[in-house]
Chains A and B, each alone.
Chain A
Amino acid sequence: GAVVSQHPSWVICKSGTSVKIECRSLDFQATTMFWYRQFPKQSLMLMATSNEGSKATYEQGVEKDKFLINHASLTLSTLTVTSAHPEDSSFYICSARDLLRGGYTFGSGTRLTVV
């Protein structure tokens, strides 16, 4: 089936630094990718929709200058958390359309801890 590879799986960074998270579709082309944030014991919250070759669409309340999304190719989308603060600590998950099963394939997630 379709696979989305997400890296890193976990990262610890200092306040004020930037962190980049990558999601790659390994055996299919993902024209659209979705980025979610998940707090402990809570559901997934959509942050933004990333379309290849165009600007991302952000959900209300999500700072686009803080969470930079780039979808430069059909197989790669990146999320950069700029000037990270402890409140940005969370679990971030990407997903892309799964043509085979009619749903969406998810990356394995990235646990970000800002200290």
Chain B
Amino acid sequence: AQTVTQSQPEMSVQEAETVTLSCTYDTSENNYYLFWYKQPPSRQMILVIRQEAYKQQNATENRFSVNFQKAAKSFSLKISDSQLGDTAMYFCAFMKLYNAGNMLTFGGGTRLMVKP
């Protein structure tokens, strides 16, 4: 079974600064996907970024980027130029090789507060 660990229950950052959220996972799979989801106060889950394990290049989406270290089983999220709207719960998630029936395994979440 896969496990996903987010060791930072809460974090805060000043507006316009950079913050990094940590995520580690444990799996015996070689092919898989990793995700970061954002859950703002509305509680709507929003996909932030996705990484395929077979890709060495780190994924980026505008102000969001990841540092994917496959050997270390680490998948951190960097948010640059933090904005007030980034305040939310962030969940790291793991999925085995892409298949309609494969579920997501979530970490415990990190609550991020962006301060003005």
Interface readout for B85-104 with A: 1 if CB under 8 Å, 0 if not?
00000010001001011011
Q: What A residues does B64 contact at CB under 8 A?
A: none
Q: What A residues does B107 contact at CB under 8 A?
A: 43
Tell me the minimal C-beta distance from B14 to chain A in angstroms.
Answer: 23
Q: What A residues does B95 contact at CB under 8 A?
A: 103
Main secondary structure of the interface of A (DSSP, over half): strand
Number of interface residues of B (CB under 8 A): 23
Q: Given the known A-B contacts A44-B91, A95-B45, A102-B50, are A49 and B103 also in contact in the complex, defined by CB atoms under 8 Å?
A: yes
Interface size class of A (residues with CB under 8 A): 20 to 34
- CB < 8 Å: which of B44, B100, B111 contacts A31? B100
- CB < 8 Å: which of B44, B47, B100, B101 contacts A108? B44
Q: Which 8 A-B pairs have the closest CB atoms?
A: A106-B45, A32-B100, A43-B106, A103-B47, A43-B108, A109-B43, A43-B109, A44-B106
Residues of A within 8 A of B (CB): 31-32, 34, 38, 41-44, 46, 49, 51, 91, 93, 95, 97-98, 101-106, 108-109
